[in-house]
Structure 1
Amino acid sequence: MTVSDEAYAAILGATAQIEWKVLEPHFARGDLLAVDAALDLVQVAAAMMEDNSEAIKGWMDAGQLQVATDSCAADWAARNPDTLWAVVIRPWVLVQERIG
């Protein structure tokens, strides 16, 4: 998947570090998607914006993109990590915990 430099920059500019408590309401509504740390959060967001169902399905089938689970939410609530990054691609909020 190729994303234009302008699109990548726009999505990157809308991506921010975020606290779990701000994400909790999105989790409660079921519109929080967890993105595996191995993926590029901006590339995933771009695929969603472009409705790239093939890429999205592949990530979902591999467990790299999924609706945030109760166990993820409980873990984030307990740890309150400062490594969560998010971007809104309506109606979804994509969240990724960056490791390292």
Structure 2
Amino acid sequence: MNENFAVEPEVLKTKITAETARISWLELQKFYASGAVLHVSTQLDLVDVAYAFAVDDKTQVASWLAQHQIARVEPAQAQQWYEQKAELWAVVISPWVLVQKTERDTH
């Protein structure tokens, strides 16, 4: 896909869905250390959030940030995921790595 051309929303969402995968928190450490990891609330759909980032929907992203539904991963959360060897759903929307721990994954 040529990124220079406008993409239909459903095509872009399909692409994002295909690029979403489970990954170990241990593998995300270097991205966390660089400040590039954002935690997405389980109340939100990870693909919808990634789509908003991809299309630069500043209003929606700002709303989620204000409501603390997306945020940088806090050190205590990072430590907990490290100790649990947690696996999270993740997708890269450069420069961000969006991660989400689903309800069924919680201990």
Which blocks of at least 5 consecutive residues in structure 2 are unaligned? 1-7
User: Which string of whole-angstrom CA distances, capped at 9 and with x for unpartnered residues, describes residues 11-34 of structure 1?
Assistant: 000000000111111000001000
1:80 paired residue number = 85
1:78 Cα deviation from its structure 2 partner: 1.1
Question: Is 1:54 the counterpart of 2:47 in the alignment?
Answer: no
- 5 Å-filtered alignment, 1:1-100, equals 4-82=9-87, 84-100=88-104
Q: Deviating runs (4+, > 6 A) in structure 1?
A: none
Which blocks of at least 5 consecutive residues in structure 1 are unaligned? none
1:81 Cα deviation from its structure 2 partner: 2.1
Identity in percent: 35
CA distance in 2, matches of 1:19, 1:33: 15
2:3 paired residue number = none
TM-score (ref. length: structure 2)? 0.86
1:6 Cα deviation from its structure 2 partner: 1.2
CA distance in 2, matches of 1:62, 1:54: 12
Count of residues paired in the alignment: 97
TM-score (ref. length: structure 1)? 0.92
The SS at the match of 2:97 is strand
